[in-house]
């Protein structure tokens, strides 16, 4: 359990949940089941369902008068909120307000838990949660477990939220990086400036003092990149993708694919032909990587480790998911950024966007 310190003034300790909404919540139900999530509980009085896999909690909010559904009416299918675990939610909330944050709406009913929130990216919410682990659970108060359902399903082996990214308008990357620095004392751990054949993006990867909340913030270098396409489709800034950690990506990906998950177009054959030159020390099975269309990245030398990753197609409006397994590399697949960026560009060209 993380404590409040001078370097961790909000007492952050990881992600608690991500909340989603859509005009048709059934589509989200089908999607998350494809990913290996199981609906484990339903809200006592509202049309809200809790999905779980490993240590990952997803909330689907279909309550008509909720903030989530209002957000969905404005943006379409969306990730309308996420929650950060903190040592003391009331303290963290008051500190955030003192530092100039805008409070989120208070929508709890009688006998319901009031979880404080602040306004985050694109008007979405950041909840502050201190009931977890030995201190109980926020779900015990508002949710009723679904009878006969394992409350801690393993699913396809996804275990926690590794990171989630923000897409912002040109000129706003530094503003949002400063937001996380000023409020939560995040630090920049990576900076990217990616140039594709026709478009480009910049990204600042921020991480919390506890090291468990990582948020890369992307902005476009031009007016036609996939970042700009996202901003137009989503009608504003927001969460671009959520990365889910797999303890065995060679198991998770085929299981998700067999359930109907659509992954992005595989990289060209040349990508795998070039891997031994890029990472001569790796010990992965290239045929397995290629068969599953998994990307690999790593440091120039073995002591820097490597990571394996794959991305779904856009599945919640313009939002997509990443499946990632780290083998000593704490980056974000920088070596794959250009390859991925160019593959999305190829798709944009095929669709006539570029």
The annotated binding site for Fe cation is made up of 163, 241, 322
Phi, psi of 161 (to 5 degrees): -80, 115
Distance CA 102, CA 288 (A): 48
Segment holding 90, helix H or strand E:
helix 89-98
**Angle between helical axes of 334-350 and 226-234 (0-180°, round to 10):** 70
Q: State how far the alpha carbon of 94 is from the alpha carbons of 89, 99, 269, in Å.
A: 9, 9, 53
Contacts of 300 (CB under 8 A, 6+ apart): none
Distance CA 82, CA 117 (A): 10
Contacts of 19 (CB under 8 A, 6+ apart): 58, 59, 60, 61, 68, 79, 80, 81, 82, 83, 125, 127
Binding residues are 163, 241, 322
């Amino acid at each position: 359990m993380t404590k409040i310190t001078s370097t961790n003034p909000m007492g952050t300790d990881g992600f608690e949940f991500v909340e989603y909404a859509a005009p048709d919540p059934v589509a989200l139900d089908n999607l998350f089941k494809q990913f290996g999530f199981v609906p484990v509980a339903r809200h006592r009085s509202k049309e809200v369902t809790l999905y779980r896999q490993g240590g990952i909690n997803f909330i689907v909010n279909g309550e008509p008068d909720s903030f989530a559904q209002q957000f969905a009416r404005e943006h379409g299918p969306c990730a309308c909120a996420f929650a950060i675990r903190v040592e003391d939610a009331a303290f963290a909330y008051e500190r955030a307000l003192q530092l100039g944050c805008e409070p989120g709406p208070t929508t709890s009913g009688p006998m319901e838990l009031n979880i404080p929130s602040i306004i985050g990216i694109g008007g979405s919410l950041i909840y502050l949660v201190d009931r977890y682990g030995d201190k109980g659970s926020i779900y015990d108060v508002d949710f009723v477990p679904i009878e006969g359902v394992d409350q801690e399903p393993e699913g396809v082996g996804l275990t926690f939220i590794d990171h989630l990214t923000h897409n912002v308008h040109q000129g706003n990357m530094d503003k949002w990086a400063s937001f996380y620095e000023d409020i939560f004392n995040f630090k920049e751990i990576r900076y990217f400036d990616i140039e594709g054949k026709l478009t480009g993006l910049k990204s600042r990867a921020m991480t919390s003092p506890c090291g468990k909340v990582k948020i890369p913030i992307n902005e476009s270098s031009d007016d036609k990149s996939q970042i700009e396409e996202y901003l137009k489709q989503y009608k504003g800034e927001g969460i671009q993708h959520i990365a889910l950690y797999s303890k065995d990506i060679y198991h998770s990906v085929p299981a998700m694919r067999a359930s109907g998950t659509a992954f992005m177009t595989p990289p060209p054959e040349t990508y795998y032909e070039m891997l031994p030159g890029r990472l001569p020390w790796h010990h992965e099975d290239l045929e397995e990587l290629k068969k599953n269309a998994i990307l690999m990245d790593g440091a120039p030398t073995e002591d820097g480790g490597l990571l394996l990753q794959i991305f779904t197609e856009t599945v919640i409006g313009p939002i997509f998911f990443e499946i990632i397994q780290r083998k000593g590399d704490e980056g974000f697949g920088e070596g794959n950024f250009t390859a991925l960026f160019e593959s999305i560009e190829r798709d944009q060209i095929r669709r006539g966007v570029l």
